[in-house]
Homo-oligomer: A and B are copies of this chain.
Amino acid sequence: MNRSSLIRQIRQKKSFLCVGLDSDILKMPEGISHSAQGLIDFNKAIIESTAEFAVAYKLNTAFYESLGAAGWEVMEKTLEFIPKDIFTIADAKRGDIGNTSAMYARAFFENLHFDSITVNPYMGKDSVSPFLDFEGKWSILLALTSNPGSQDFQTLPIGREQVYMQVLETSAKWGSPENMMYVVGATRAEQLARIREIIPNHFLLVPGVGAQGGSLEQVVKYGANNDIGLLINSSRSIIYASSGKDFAEAAGREAAAMQAQMKEFVD
Residues on A close to B: CB < 8 A?
22, 24, 60, 62-63, 65-73, 76, 91, 93-98, 100-101, 103-104, 106-107, 111-112, 120-128, 142, 145-154, 156-159, 163, 166-167, 170-171
Contact = CB atoms under 8 A, between A and B. Distances in A.
Given A62-B96, A66-B106, A107-B68, A150 B123 contact: yes
Given A69-B73, A72-B68, A127 B103 contact: no
Contact of A93 (B60, B67, B120, B163): B120
Contacts of A103: 24, 60, 62-63, 65-66
A171 to B, nearest CB: 8
Given A62-B101, A107-B65, A123-B147, A166 B158 contact: no
Given A62-B103, A125-B152, 4 more contacts: A69-B73, A97-B145, A121-B153, A124-B150
A93 B94 CA distance: 7
A109 B147 CA distance: 23
Contacts of A73: 69
A250 to B, nearest CB: 21
A12 to B, nearest CB: 32
- Complex copy number for this chain: 2
A190 to B, nearest CB: 20
Contact of A166 (B94, B147, B150, B156): B156
Contacts of A142: 122-123
Nearest to A96: B93
A111 B126 CA distance: 31
Nearest to A100: B62
B147 A170 contact: no
Output the residue of A22, A69, A71, A154 with the most chain B CB within 10 A: A69
A151 B153 CA distance: 16
Nearest to A145: B123
Contacts of A153: 121-122, 124, 163, 166-167, 170
Contacts of A126: 147-149
A76 B66 CA distance: 13
B158 A170 contact: no
A101 B61 CA distance: 11
18 contacts: A60-B96, A60-B100, A62-B100, A65-B103, A65-B104, A66-B104, A66-B107, A68-B76, A69-B69, A69-B72, A98-B147, A121-B122, A121-B152, A123-B142, A123-B147, A124-B154, A127-B147, A152-B170
